[in-house]
Structure 1
Amino acid sequence: MISFDFRNRTAIVTGGARGIGRAVADRLLASGARVAIWDMRAPEVSDGTFPSKPDDFHYSLLDVTSETAVEQAARETLALTGKIDILINAAGVTGPTKPMEEFSLAEWKRVIDINLDSVFLCSRAVIPLMRANGYGRIVSIASIAGKQGNPFMAGYSAAKAGVIGMTKALGLELAGSGILVNCVTPGLVRTELLKEMSEEAIALSASKIPLNRPGTVDEVAAQILWAASEECSFATGAVFDASGGRAAY
């Protein structure tokens, strides 16, 4: 396993209680980072992967679609850790899998709020803190659906396309500041989010993967860790594929 040195770095992982976010948080901690998880649920610590030392690990129970909650969490995390170097935007939901004409406005807004608005709110909250130190890495989890679209997942596809567009714009906007902004676009990955998808939608997505299997959270986390590290020094506004060959652009 490739390892990176995150000693003396502080990372925020939204949606870090489970799934890809949890895998990223585990790897960051194992690589020496101080990690703050922002999630609506508390991470499980019974498996022993999260350290008990308070200087290394914190979590805040919050709704990352709430402007007030995000701003408060940023202040609290800064007070606890002294600085914020890395933001991993991993919070997300798939939302309904059905024809768009059957979407309610509430369902549509929930998917956009969690997948797209949270990236805006969390990134906006940490950028001034990173700019003050002249260093930062923002890595967002988009999706292959944002590149190619998934039928019956219009809300999710639209939100993830928005994450890709925001990444490109923000990467250019912050170029020269020491803050690099990139995103990773996973294809089908076995996480709890698949429980929100119909079996038909899962089968359709799986059939499009040239490697003929879903990805794992650890495979996606490995790509994210590189983008969050100092080794990523000449890429910003970039979109890194993690789709098993479904998209190579």
Structure 2
Amino acid sequence: MDLGLGGARAVVTGGSKGMGLAIAETLGAEGARVAVMARGVEALESAAHRIRAAGAPEVLALSVDMASADSIAAGYAAVGEAWGSLNVLIHTVGPGAGPFEELDDADWHAAFDLGTMSAVRSVRAALPMLRAADWGRIVTLSAHSIQRQSPRLVAYTASKAALSSFTKNLSKSLGPEGILVNCVCPGTIVTASFTEILKEVLAADGFDSADPHDVMAWVERTYGHPCDIGRAGLPEEIASATVYLASRRNGYVTGATVNVDGGSDFI
């Protein structure tokens, strides 16, 4: 299936690792020009190499602190200087986690800066370029925890719920302009950082943090959150759904919140 992304110009925030990188590589494989925004220069350079190898005709690797309004503005200014217009904005950035008792006001502000305001600032900066293009798409990545709560994710989930609401509202105002806006809610996804961070925790319970079936078994045992498929997901599975929604091939899906979670019954 031709997604109509050949020659398109796309920004992926948080595009140097995990799901963001998988999305950027998929866009590159479809022939899009890709700008990735993240903080770490070394990770950006590695990501840019992988995205080019996937087939992207042009890659911009931009060091941007998504918690800083000035840094975000500078990043999009660089995109504007290079390309002038933009077809796709995919926003994948999210905050850290923690239970309520461990979070002070600064932690809550940080969660909303990364989980919500980074998307608001990105859309604000990208919108003139999206309007200058002949077609435009915005996709944000929220989380299935907005529908299935976890006490350890209280500020994270609150910020992602706000992001989902912002995204759906944005679809209403931009739909008449032909800019389609959707939200993807990933379930438990086995990324390299997930595997590394939880390696010892899962190992202590006899599970392998790199095995999607083990990961889901641990999630079900620890949090009571199973999924129908019986395994955790992979970054490329998030990328497939996200890139379709961000593509020209998608001509009629907007305002949707799409669960990509292996099948879960939300209460």
Same fold (TM over 0.5): yes
Q: Distance in 2 between matches of 1:143 and 1:193?
A: 17
Pairwise mapping of residues 127-146 of structure 1 onto structure 2 (< 5 A)?
127-146=127-146
Q: Which residue of 2 aligns with 1:152?
A: 152
Structure 1 residues 247, 33: CA separation in 2 closer, same or farther (over 3 Å shift)? Answer: farther
- 1:51 partner SS: helix
Q: Distance in 1 between matches of 2:249 and 2:57?
A: 25
Q: Which residue of 1 aligns with 2:236?
A: 218
Tell me the alpha carbon deviations over residues 125-179 of structure 1, each in whole angstroms, 9 at most, x when there is no partner.
Answer: 1112212335211000010011222222101110111111011100001111011
Do residues 14 (structure 1) and 13 (structure 2) align?
yes
> Are the aligned partners of 2:140 and 2:184 in contact in 1 as well (CA < 8 Å)?
yes
CA RMSD of aligned residues (A): 2.6
Do residues 83 (structure 1) and 85 (structure 2) align?
yes
> Are the aligned partners of 1:146 and 1:159 in contact in 2 as well (CA < 8 Å)?
no
Structure 1 residues 77, 189: CA separation in 2 closer, same or farther (over 3 Å shift)? Answer: same
Q: Distance in 2 between matches of 1:71 and 1:130?
A: 15
- 2:82 partner SS: helix
> Are the aligned partners of 1:206 and 1:212 in contact in 2 as well (CA < 8 Å)?
no
Quick check: which one's helix share is greater? 2
The answer for unaligned runs of 5 or more in structure 2 is 206-217
Q: Distance in 2 between matches of 1:126 and 1:223?
A: 22
Q: Distance in 2 between matches of 1:248 and 1:153?
A: 17
Tell me the alpha carbon deviations over residues 103-133 of structure 1, each in whole angstroms, 9 at most, x when there is no partner.
Answer: 1222222222111111111011111221233
Measured after TM superposition, the shift of residue 82 of structure 1 is 3.1
Tell me the alpha carbon deviations over residues 200-224 of structure 1, each in whole angstroms, 9 at most, x when there is no partner.
Answer: 9945357421211110000010000
* Structure of greater Rg: 2
Which letter does structure 2 place at the counterpart of 1:120? V
Structure 1 residues 248, 179: CA separation in 2 closer, same or farther (over 3 Å shift)? Answer: farther
Pairwise mapping of residues 168-183 of structure 1 onto structure 2 (< 5 A)?
168-183=168-183
The answer for unaligned runs of 5 or more in structure 1 is none
Tell me the alpha carbon deviations over residues 70-121 of structure 1, each in whole angstroms, 9 at most, x when there is no partner.
Answer: 122112112112321100101223322x2x1221222222222111111111
Q: Distance in 1 between matches of 2:245 and 2:18?
A: 18
- 1:101 partner SS: helix
Do residues 232 (structure 1) and 250 (structure 2) align?
yes
Structure 1 residues 47, 140: CA separation in 2 closer, same or farther (over 3 Å shift)? Answer: closer
Q: Which residue of 2 aligns with 1:50?
A: 51
When the two structures are aligned, how many residues end up with a matched partner? 246
Tell me the alpha carbon deviations over residues 170-207 of structure 1, each in whole angstroms, 9 at most, x when there is no partner.
Answer: 00011110111101001100124536677599453574
Measured after TM superposition, the shift of residue 63 of structure 1 is 0.7
- Out of 233, 245, 248, the residue aligned to residue 263 of structure 2 is 245
Q: Distance in 1 between matches of 2:167 and 2:265?
A: 18
Q: Distance in 1 between matches of 2:25 and 2:223?
A: 27
**What TM-score, normalized to structure 2?**
0.83
> Are the aligned partners of 1:89 and 1:119 in contact in 2 as well (CA < 8 Å)?
yes
- 1:45 partner SS: helix
